[in-house]
Amino acid sequence: MGKDKIRRFNENLTFRCLVQPAFEEVFGIDHPMKGKWHEFFGNDNPIVLELGCGRGEYTVALAERNPDKNFIGVDIKGARMWRGAKTVTERGINNAGFLRTRIEFISSLFAEGEVSEIWITFPDPQMPKQRAKHRLTGPLFLARYAKILQEGGMINLKTDSQFLHEYTKDVIAQNALPVEVASNDIYGTGYADETLSVKTAYESKFLAQGMPITYLRFSLGGKTEFSYTEPEEE
């Protein structure tokens, strides 16, 4: 492990805004923070998650633009998350935090209805069929989100991957989920507003390569179970 990574891991331990549960604290059991995230922020404002937050650029930007909401970036990569946690600490941003854990464990960390909205920004599309269960908009993950989202809570997917965009649209259609927005190119169509125009380092790179950025906003329609059948190849 490089010295810089070790330094970041050590500094992570000093950030009040960063929670790092041990594996044994979340595997199959409820963590003490579950149902108490409003106490963590010291207010009753809505809680919004960014899943797979990476360096936390979107979490920080959303928090600065929406002081009436609380934002939590979730990722397992502590060395990347260090950047977001350090920015929040240095700027004194009180409505943003970070949670280092696997997304598979979120129902051990958040109570029913504790989360008002979810953002998924530029996740790995997990294109091989054998990786389908790892797609963050697949049935297994939607079932996890259903356990923590408020009724009518929205899920936002912003990605450069046309594959993941179309896959998610298929999952939505097969489960008859309500869709608010479906855009194949938010910048080319002029749809991107102040929030959608926030650009991570990955997004800037994709745009420089001429790749369109897609966006989906949908809810789970009160469902708790989801299914998906791969379309037959022609």
Active-site residue set: 124
| Contact by Cβ (8 Å): 80, 108 | no
**217 pairs with which residues across the strands?**
156, 181
Q: What's phi and psi for 87, nearest 5 deg?
A: -60, -45
Amino acid, res. 220: L
d(Cα 82, Cα 176) in Å, to the nearest integer? 39
> Residue for token digits 């809505």?
46
d(CA 164, CA 143): 18
- R_g of the chain, CA atoms, integer Å: 17
Q: 8 phi and psi, to 5 degrees?
A: -65, -45
CA distance 220 to 128: 25
| 38 close to 60: Cβ distance less than 8 angstroms | no
